[in-house]
Structure 1
Amino acid sequence: MSNGFGFSFPNDDNEGRDNEGNNNDNGRGDANNPFAAFGFGGSFGSGQGFGASGGQGQGGLGDILNQFGQMLSGMGSSMNNRDESDAVNFDLAARMARQRIAGVTSVSAADTTAVEESVRLAELWLDGATDLPASQAQAKAWNAKDWLDETMPMWKRLVNPVAAHMTRAQMDTMPEEAREMMGPMAGMVNQMNSMQFGMKLGHALGDLAQQALTGTDFGLPVAPSGVAAVLPRNVAEISKGLELPGQEVMVYIAAREAARQRLFRHVPWLVERLVSSVEEYAAGLEIDTSHIEEAVRGLNLEGGDPAQIQEAMQNLQNEDLSPRVGSRNAAATARLETLIALVEGWVDIVVGEALGDRIPSTPQLAEAWARRRATGGSAEQAFANIVGIELSAPRTREAAELWRRTTEAVGVERRDAVWSHPDLLPSTEQLDNPASFIDTLLDDTTDTDLDDEFAKLEEEMRNNPELKREDGDGKDDGSQDGTEL
């Protein structure tokens, strides 16, 4: 693990651990895989996710056969436990992830107390920095296994639609003759795909469980509703590289988690909007295998010359034969990127305001968190490795600057009221031009002030139906009913 909040998805330090005790390094280098379209290997194995366009892999046919053998070894129990409605074998994913985090220690009473007190303190300080009230979420201390077990339901929601559409798209790209020849084997191919996806998901979740600091890292609401979770052992690990008091690091991490929980609790549309964006992305998945067909067109297996076949296969190993995956729903991806940036940017500003005068190391902690985002520990990496969506780096700094300027212009209450409806949030374009967003809020504020004045006038008129205008000597103006508007 790198210094500070640095993540690795994956890094060289993990390679040795991956191969100790059990062979969990399944299919890392399968981008050069002519069988990827049938669920063996593929771009997800190269760390790019279900729906990514894979790069050059590190392995070859041996890796593919190794994967196939391992899938067969666990096929019986995994297929029996698989939910037929799922496109991913989540039972296999959970078992593989637990293997990767084997040996984690239980959370101690002292760690539990530290988390609870840190969250409680953070909530008190956040009250002065945001108009959103405390979430009343229960503070919990998790270890890696707790994180895996508690977040799996939401990962299922995020991963399953992508995997289902990926499998469907793979079958659709096959020539009609091939689909007819497969016939009853199509079900077996789907099962193999679900196992392959399960293996890759378990690999990614096992890594992330050892690196996650909270239940909602980077604006991803994967923890159960009503839970503010912090992983004290993982926090202690990253504290070693910061040369700052561990208690200050814990409070900072707890404050970020508590701030996100306020958003997820009091902005009820937010979580569903994130999930629906993933589903929209999945619905538009497209797979292009034309380059694979072109590469294998010259492969002559009928000649029977082993030397020629071996040479041809070696040539294929130098080609990127992973399916090229894209989505027609670019708007869904852009919405995800912007939402994540706005969430984390808002958290940056609120936590900085709440802790800035109380914890001297707040600027250093904020910068360490920003480095963590920039060096691999980020929402886009988690989505790529686990969900399979290739996001651009969320523009959190731009979003934070927008929220900072908004606070200065219209105040905390008006700033936080923006979260009341998705249509009120800043657009992607307004991240580049905060002034245009602030102008809309100022216009709304002016209109609201005028409306308030008219409302007050109408109320006075209702309460005083016989308003009179007096003349200089204190008498009525002579009108018969004595009223004047």
Structure 2
Amino acid sequence: MSPDVPAPDGPDATGPQQWEQMLRAMLGPAADDAIREMREMGVDPAAMAAASGLPADPVALQQALAQVQRMLATSGDQPVNWQMAHDLARQQAAVGGDPSLTPAQAKEVRDALSVAELWLDVATDLPPVVGAPQAWSRAEWVEATLPTWRTLTEPVATSLSAALAGALGPAIGEIGSAFPGGLTDAGAGDPTQLLRGLGSAVFGLQVGQAAGTLAREAFGTTDIGLPLLERPAPALVAANVDAFAQGLDAPAEEVRLYLALREAAASRLFGHVPWLRAHLLDTVAEYARGIAIDVEHLEEAVASIDPTDPAALQEALSGGVFAPQTTPAQQAALARLEHALALVEGWVDEVATAAATPHLPHAVPLREMVRRRRAAGGPAEQTFASLVGLELRPRRLRDAATVWAHLTATRDVAGRDALWAHPDLVPTPEDLDDPAGFDARRQAEVDGSADLDRALAQILGDADGTDEGDQATGTPAG
């Protein structure tokens, strides 16, 4: 016990005097009135506080409350506490060191991206993007990509925060009824706003953890399948590329060039297919709109949290406390997202390897290494999955790459890339099952559309009271 806190009068460590101090620390100026009226109602403050699981030491309680207050004070009305997310992401990115790039390192990356653009000119009909190639540290990756993390997670955070308030709001109201005038008059504020602030802080922790961990793994701006820059421009995180190259049989220069090819190819795709980025982010938002909460799991998780242990609190919150339930509509959205991710990464896989093969002896083994890495996922992907229930993993990458290779052989590079002109033209899940039947299915669709047009024309002609002969001569039907 702190020396500044007087010892309780009796052997009971949770005596009334000590609990009154804690209630004053928690409720502020309203504490005296609350304590007096609680006693008049026959409520024992010590017994009530003990039942709530609060600590016996008022100093510990004050520290816990101060931490929560600081956490909530910076949340404001935002669904995600972005200051917290930013600070934690930078801290996580720096784990293990994140020195600034030397001029030589930056030149190696920029040169690799420039060479990659030249090689890609013969492998895809899509031109380079306008943005200049960049060489980044992990901290620079965080700063550049955090705006897109905001776009990705705010719809989920907003829905989850509303669900949290709906699930726990009534229970908070019942607890508040024990205080004269409710929680607001007791100094605790509006319960709904309190819950939203808590949700904002929790998401700040989660997003910061995910972004910071990804900063230590990501090669560039596109290697998780989603475009993390609003205006695509190829960039590589030099430290992560070098770390990946260690232990491989291929020379570091080859590894850098292969990863530069993938990054530049994906940047071309997102830069010149206007509907693609919006389609991916809208699918995430559609998933978010269906979020619901398993209230029983939430109550169990909250009951297990020790408010005096910040490490335990963060661990519990980052371990899926909210347990979002997946609805059929969300499962459909996830299926569309996985299919789109597979198409994107399958195309990048095919194009980058086609561009690399004439120049890099280890192109095929490097392709396999990257495929396995994406299939296995990493800690950051697992963190993101626990946050919103989304696994950013293209489960059918190999099937999608096979489809794009088939289309390259049957339609050449320009014909293959022209399919990105509209979302209705790209390969479907059925095409991933049977790549060889792609052209036959498209021809059947064209024939079916022509038959439908003829049938509609016949129906409309009959409705006008004309037949084909009358239409040809202009003579009214009679």
Does TM-score exceed 0.5, indicating one fold? yes
Q: State whether residues 162 and 388 of structure 1, in contact with CA within 8 Å, keep that contact through their aligned partners in structure 2.
A: no
**Cα deviation, residue 227, structure 1:** 2.0
What does residue 82 of structure 1 align with? 75
- Cα deviation for residue 178 of structure 1 reads 4.7
Instruction: List per-residue Cα deviations over 1:239-279 (Å, max 9, x = no partner).
Output: 01212211111111111010001111110111111111011
Q: Distance between the aligned counterparts of 2:396 and 2:87, measured in 1?
A: 35
- Counterpart secondary structure, 2:250: coil
Q: Offset of 1:282 from its aligned partner?
A: 0.4
If you compute each CA radius of gyration, which structure gives the higher value, 1 or 2?
A: 2
Give the match for residue 258 of structure 1.
264
Secondary structure at the aligned position of 1:227 is classed as coil
Instruction: Give the whole-Å Cα distance in 2 for the aligned partners of 1:253 and 1:392.
Output: 18
On the 8 A contact 2:353/2:363 being kept in 1, the answer is yes
Distance in 2 between residues matched to 1:356 and 1:70, nearest whole Å = 60
Please name the residue that 1:273 is paired with.
279
Tell me if the contact between 1:406 and 1:415 (Cα under 8 Å) persists in the aligned partners: yes
State the shift of 1:80 in Å.
4.6
Q: Give the corresponding residue for 1:341.
A: 342
Instruction: From 159, 163, 174, give the equivalent of 1:169.
Output: 163
Partner of 1:129: 123
Counterpart of 1:91 in structure 2: which amino acid? Q
Write the distance in 2 (CA, Å) between the matches of 1:76 and 1:119: 47
**1:116 equivalent in structure 2:** 110
- How far did residue 339 of structure 1 move? 0.8
Aligned twin of 2:333: 332
Shift of 1:438: 3.0
Residue of structure 2 in register with 1:93 after alignment:
85
Point out where structure 1 has 5 or more consecutive residues left out of the alignment: 1-60, 63-67, 300-319, 448-485
**Letter paired with 1:95:** D
- Gap change, CA 1:98 and 1:118, over 3 Å in 2: same
Q: 1:352 to 1:186 in 2, by over 3 A?
A: same
- In the TM superposition, residue 205 of structure 1 has moved relative to its aligned partner by 1.6
Name the CA distance, whole Å, in 2 between partners of 1:350 and 1:160.
Answer: 33
1:199 and 1:222 map into 2 onto residues whose CA distance is 19
Provide the residue aligned with 1:479 in structure 2. none
What aligned pairs does 1:223-242 form with structure 2 within 5 A after superposition? 223-242=229-248
How far did 1:201 drift?
1.8
CA distance change for structure 1 residues 394 and 70 in 2, over 3 Å: closer, same or farther? farther
**Alignment partner for residue 153 of structure 1, among 126, 144, 147?**
147
Letter in 1 for 2:276: L
> What are the equivalent positions in structure 2 for 1:378-417 lying under 5 Å apart?
381=382, 383-385=384-386, 387-390=388-391, 393-417=394-418
Alignment partners' CA distance in 2, 1:133 and 1:120: 13
Question: 1:118 and 1:125 mapped to 2: Cα distance?
Answer: 11
SS of aligned partner of 1:217:
coil
AA of the residue aligned to 2:251: P
Could you tell me how far 1:82 is from its partner in structure 2?
3.4
Query: Once the two structures are superposed, what CA deviation does each residue of 1:36-95 show, in whole Å capped at 9, x if it has no partner?
Result: xxxxxxxxxxxxxxxxxxxxxxxxx99xxxxx99985555555454352x2111111111
Quick check: 2:222–2:228 contact (8 Å CA) kept in 1?
A: yes
> Counterparts of 1:258 and 1:446 in 2: how far apart (Å)?
38
SS of the residue aligned with 1:419? helix
Residue identity matched to 1:237: A
Contact 1:341/1:396 (8 A) holds in 2: yes
Query: CA contact under 8 A between 1:219 and 1:379: conserved in structure 2?
Result: no
Q: For 1:223-248, what per-residue CA distance to the aligned partner results, in whole angstroms no more than 9, with x for missing partners?
A: 34142110111101110121221111
TM alignment of 1:25-36, pairs within 5 A: none
CA distance in 2: counterparts of 1:163 and 1:418, whole angstroms: 35
SS of the aligned residue for 2:424 comes to helix
Partner residue in 1 for 2:218 = 212
- Counterparts of 1:362 and 1:69 in 2: how far apart (Å)? 60
SS at the partner of 1:141? strand
Give the deviation of 1:171 after TM superposition: 2.5
Report Cα offsets for 1:451-471 as digits up to 9, x if no partner: xxxxxxxxxxxxxxxxxxxxx
- In 1, Cα distance between the equivalents of 2:99 and 2:63? 28
CA contact (8 A) 1:430 1:436 kept: yes
The equivalent of 1:191 in structure 2 is 197
Amino acid at match of 1:97: A
Separation in 2, partners of 1:154, 1:69: 37
Q: How many residue pairs get matched?
A: 358
Q: Distance in 1 between matches of 2:64 and 2:436?
A: 55
Deviation at 1:394, TM superposition (A): 2.5
SS in 2 for 1:354: helix
Aligned counterparts of 2:244 and 2:263: Cα–Cα separation in 1: 16
C-alpha change, 1:250 and 1:70, in structure 2 (3 Å) is farther
| Counterpart Cα distance in 2 of 1:163 and 1:80 | 18
The one-letter code matched in structure 2 to 1:82 is S
Q: Quick check: which one's helix share is greater?
A: 2
Residue type of the alignment partner of 2:209: H
How far is the alpha carbon of 1:177 from its aligned partner? 6.0
Q: Which residue of 2 aligns with 1:418?
A: 419
| Letter aligned with residue 325 of structure 1 | Q
Provide the rounded CA distance (Å) in 2 between the counterparts of 1:229 and 1:445.
Answer: 41
Using the TM superposition, give the Cα deviation of residue 377 of structure 1 relative to its aligned residue in structure 2, in angstroms. Answer: 3.8
* Change in CA separation of 1:156 and 1:292 when aligned onto 2, cut-off 3 Å: closer
1:340, 1:379 within 8 Å by CA — same for their partners in 2?
no
Please give the alpha-carbon distance, in whole angstroms, between the structure 2 residues aligned to 1:446 and 1:128.
Answer: 34
Provide the C-alpha distance between the structure 1 equivalents of 2:206 and 2:380, rounded to a whole number of angstroms: 18
Secondary structure at 2:134 match in 1:
strand
Give the match's secondary structure for 2:283.
Answer: helix
Distance 1:123-1:237 versus aligned 2 partners, 3 A rule: same
User: Where do 5+ consecutive residues of structure 2 fail to align?
Assistant: 1-52, 55-60, 177-182, 184-189, 304-319, 449-478
1:199 Cα deviation after fit: 1.2
Residue 360 of structure 2 is aligned to residue 359 of structure 1: yes
Residue 122 of structure 2 aligns with an amino acid whose one-letter code is G
Relative to 1, partners in 2 of residues 1:152 and 1:73: Cα closer, same or farther, differing over 3 Å? farther
Q: Residues 173-208 of structure 1: CA distance to partner in whole angstroms, max 9, x if unpaired?
A: 347465565572221121112111211221222211
